Amino acid sequence: MIQPVDRNLMPAIQDKLDNLNKPKGSLGRLETLAMQVALIQHSLHPRLIRPCHLLFGGDHGIEREGVSASPREVTRQQMRNYCLGGGGVNVLCRQHGFQLRVVDVGVDYIGDSADYIGDSADDIRFVSRKIGFGTRNFRYEAAMSRQEWAQALQVGAEQVDACRAEGCNVIGIGEMGVGNTSPSSILMHLFTAIPLVKCVGAGSGLGDAGIRHKLSVLEDSLARFEALKRDHAGDYTGVTDTIRHFAGFEMAAAIGAMLHAAEEKMIVLVDGFIMTACMLAASQMDAAVKDYAVFGHQGDEGGHKLMLDAMGAEPLLHLDMRLGEGTGALCAYPIVVSAVKMFNEMDNFSHANITKYF
């Protein structure tokens, strides 16, 4: 179980912030970020150590319904690209000093994952934890079984442990899975009650006709899901059964990573639409996970702002991004660094011999 942050330290943190040699509150979000990080670490001297980025990959049965502009093979091709160091996520991990772990949880490739990955770049760790060759088509049946769901959660948790064993206390999480905006839209709708039409967007580049088709497929999937719940009530007894009906293996692994990182009192950097949907799902399982979440950016995917607002989340950036991979979270990380450095290194009124005028 995740322990909520101990807010008993808040007065001491606020006192330190207010005595830094600046007008009270003048550093805005940097101050609220510093407060959050200090609460997560329960320290007046927080540190950011060996940040790690987990990129989970998996394919989706719902992709067979034509809900994505990208063909299925792009998942495998991009996973290889990440391992060779050529993705957007690679550039940002290198820039900001993140170790990158690329994890195959369910890419649709028959054979050993190493066959399509080949030799990874020296600064990238590839991990094969394949549960299946993509999930099943949730239009007609649950995307994964309870056993597969549990296995995917464990994959996420074990990757967090691997990072933590190397001293990491900051986890970024990204994904690669053609079609994964579709389950994200449905989870958003189910857990926020926002109308589905407002939750569905272009994904990897659908036009208006494609978006209308995607919405139709998802509406039908939801109707069938409600019928399945009525006819097989014992198979749908709680939140996790709802999540596993729709989520991809890479999404389930991300949820597992988020929950376990919060258990270990680590900072969790949340990326765009899909990872926000995963954090939303994780918060349905344990609301305390949000104490550890730093929302990196508001993306350009339809519905992302609505989902963030429904969660009471205030993202650090709004750059019209919708690439995924965790790129928005990585772009936001330097702001977290600035907040911690300000909190730790800025002088105070007394020591600097500056009159405190408030």
Active-site positions read: 325
Provide the pairing of β-strand 52-58 with 293-295. unpaired
Plot region of 320 (φ>0 → left; ψ -120 to 50 → alpha; else → beta): left
Cα–Cα distance, 32 to 17 (Å, whole number): 10
Which residues lie across from 297 on neighbouring strands? Answer: 317
Q: What is the dihedral of CA 159, 164, 170, 176, to 10 degrees?
A: -10
DSSP string, 268-285: EEE-SHHHHHHHHHHHHH
DSSP state of 98: -
Instruction: Pick the closest to residue 303 from 210, 173, 188 (CA basis).
Output: 188
Instruction: Write the CB contacts of 21 (distance below 8 Å, at least 6 apart in sequence).
Output: 346, 347, 348, 349, 352, 354
Instruction: Write the CB contacts of 236 (distance below 8 Å, at least 6 apart in sequence).
Output: 228, 229, 242, 245
Helix, strand, coil in percent for the chain, rounding step 5 = 55, 10, 35
**Token pair of 181 as six digits:** 């905006």
How many degrees, rounded to 5, is the angle at CA 51 between CA 310 and CA 82?
A: 85
Provide the pairing of β-strand 99-106 with 52-58. parallel
Cα–Cα distance, 75 to 287 (Å, whole number): 31
User: 314-320 long-range CB contacts below 8 Å, 24 or more apart?
Assistant: 314/29, 316/29, 316/33
